[in-house]
Amino acid sequence: MYIRGSFFPILVAAGMATLNVSAALFAEHEICIFGNDVLRKKAEPIKKFDDALKQRVERMFRVMKATGDGVGLAAPQIGCSEQLVVAQVKMPTLPEDFPEEQKEALQKEISGLSKMIELTDHTGKATTFDDIVQFGRFAFANPVWKPVGDTKAPSREACLSLPGIMAKVPRYKKIVLNFQDLDGHPYTLQCDGLLAQIIQHETDHLNGILYVDHISDLCVVGEMPIWEVFPELYEQMKALKDEVLTKNKVEESRQEAEQEGREFKSSEKTFWISEKNKEKALAIIGKIGGEDHMFDYDTLLPQSETANNAVEAKSEAK
């Protein structure tokens, strides 16, 4: 869901429109955008653990792959109003100028995750992490979590349903999750770190909650490719820029970078919007999805990749 670094961290948690039936009506990489009713609905519990469910999960992973930095996705984001989320915790795609010396720390943080996880299956028997997790991919059906302790920490988050912005969201550091796998077997998982943050963000989607509901100020990340596609919407956002807040946040980021011993780069294109303009800013984000509140992320993909995906989809159809 996010990248820590001097570049503005990008946490992308993606998710589609109302389903349970309609998934096939959407283009392969189409995502429901803020303003789409399905994002505010409470999702239905999963009762059928069939091949169609597994196919929806595979598609969710393909969406995350196509969008590059996605680390989590909830079924409502792809238009399926059902209690299903996926997460992928492995090395994300990094900006080309991401500092070499920070890569190792990031890798360690992400690959070290398995050591922080305790897993118990429905029989109460301890199960190895690898039994459930392949290549850092998780699919959770009917997930319900509780915090372990009351410590919260800020999590940098973004969402494919709210393109172009990010914010720091307070999330519990450690949680315990009950869920079912894709065959319907119940499990309990205790985790912290990135996976715990992803689960909190994605399960919110199942209850019609978006990360922006938890925060007051939001950050418009000018470098995000979406703004190249919608320059006029970027200008509308810029009219809401809070100069003082932006100055303070840049200074805060600079100090954080200093404390963490990393290089700090500020960007002219990135700025903050304060709470009083939050609703206006979100309404602008909503325009990205047009009248049907959907956005096809293929628009952001290089042509060659789009072509490859088409070939892939074609061969799968066979």
Question: Is there a catalytic annotation at residue 82?
Answer: no
Minimum CB–partner distance for residue 139 and Zn ion (Å):
16
Nearer to Zn ion, 63 or 119 (CB): 63
Alpha-carbon distances, residue 115 vs 77, 111, 118, 120, 155 (angstroms): 30, 9, 8, 14, 20
Which range, of 5-13, 113-121, 132-140, 239-247, touches Zn ion by CB under 5 A? 5-13
Which ranges of the chain does DSSP label H, i.e. alpha helix?
51-66, 100-111, 129-132, 193-206, 226-229, 231-238, 243-259, 278-287, 303-317
Nearer to Zn ion, 13 or 17 (CB): 13
Nearer to Zn ion, 95 or 208 (CB): 208
What is the distance of C-alpha 142 from the center of its chain?
18
CB nearest Zn ion: which residue?
159
Contacts of 83 (CB under 8 A, 6+ apart): 43, 44, 45, 46, 75, 141, 142, 143, 206
The C-alpha angle 70, 77, 7, rounded to 5 degrees, equals 30
Minimum CB–partner distance for residue 312 and Zn ion (Å):
25
Q: Which of 13, 64, 84, 294 binds Zn ion (CB under 5 A)?
A: 13
Q: By CB under 5 A, is residue 43 in contact with Zn ion?
A: no
At 60 the three-state DSSP class reads helix
Which range, of 8-16, 230-238, 267-275, 279-287, touches Zn ion by CB under 5 A? 8-16
Nearer to Zn ion, 119 or 175 (CB): 175
Q: Which of residues 159-198 bind Zn ion (CB under 5 A)?
A: 159
Q: Which of residues 127-166 bind Zn ion (CB under 5 A)?
A: 159
Nearer to Zn ion, 13 or 167 (CB): 13
Please state at what angle helix 231-238 crosses helix 278-287, rounded to 10 degrees: 170
Which residue matches tokens 């700090």?
264
Which residue in the list 28, 30, 157, 202 is annotated as catalytic? 202
Minimum CB–partner distance for residue 163 and Zn ion (Å):
11
Q: Which of residues 215-254 bind Zn ion (CB under 5 A)?
A: none
Task: Give 8's DSSP letter.
Answer: P
Rounded CA-CA distance 61/65 in Å is 6
Minimum CB–partner distance for residue 146 and Zn ion (Å):
21
Which range, of 12-20, 42-50, 148-156, 276-284, touches Zn ion by CB under 5 A? 12-20
Which range, of 7-15, 43-51, 224-232, 252-260, touches Zn ion by CB under 5 A? 7-15
**H or E stretch including 174?**
strand 174-180
Q: Which residues are at the interface with Zn ion (CB under 5 A)? A: 13, 159
Catalytic site positions: 202
